[in-house]
């Protein structure tokens, strides 16, 4: 199990983290604009390293680990043509990944 934690931590640091976060954000936006549920499922899969790194399996941080479920719910809403629900559900995961991306960029460039 230690290799899984190492993999999740590796996917959220440095240029790899910037790439994964950027890809996640782009996939989420394209999935919502084009109404493609499979792209939202891929975005949920790419969100998992960030939620695994920030979350925990006990206490209040379990909510962070369960955030990809909102994206899976959004993919389901997209497939059922429920536009409002599809756009509202992924707001919190989007903001989490965006804040993580900003944090990674500021950590790499301390001159800002």
Tell me the C-alpha distance between 29 and 56, whole Å.
27
* Residue 91 token pair: 């707001």
% residues pLDDT > 90 (the chain):
57
Summarised one tens digit per residue, pLDDT across range 8-45 is 888 888 888 889 999 999 999 999 999 999 999 999 99
Return the closest-CA partner of residue 50 out of 74, 28, 80. Answer: 28
The pLDDT assigned to 1 comes to 72
Q: What is the pTM of this model?
A: 0.86
CA atoms within a 13 Å half-sphere pointing along the CA-CB vector of 52 = 18
* Residue 42 token pair: 């891929």
The pLDDT assigned to 7 comes to 85
């Amino acid at each position: 199990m230690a290799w899984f934690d190492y993999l999740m931590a590796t996917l959220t640091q440095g240029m790899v983290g910037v790439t994964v976060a950027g890809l996640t954000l782009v996939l989420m936006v394209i999935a919502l604009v084009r109404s493609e549920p499979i792209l939202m499922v891929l975005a949920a899969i790419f969100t998992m390293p960030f939620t695994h790194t920030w979350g925990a399996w006990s206490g209040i941080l379990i909510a962070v680990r369960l955030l990809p479920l909102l994206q899976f719910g959004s993919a389901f809403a997209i497939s059922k043509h429920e536009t409002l629900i599809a756009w509202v559900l992924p707001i919190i995961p989007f903001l989490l990944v965006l804040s993580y991306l900003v944090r990674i960029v500021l950590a790499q460039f301390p001159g800002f």
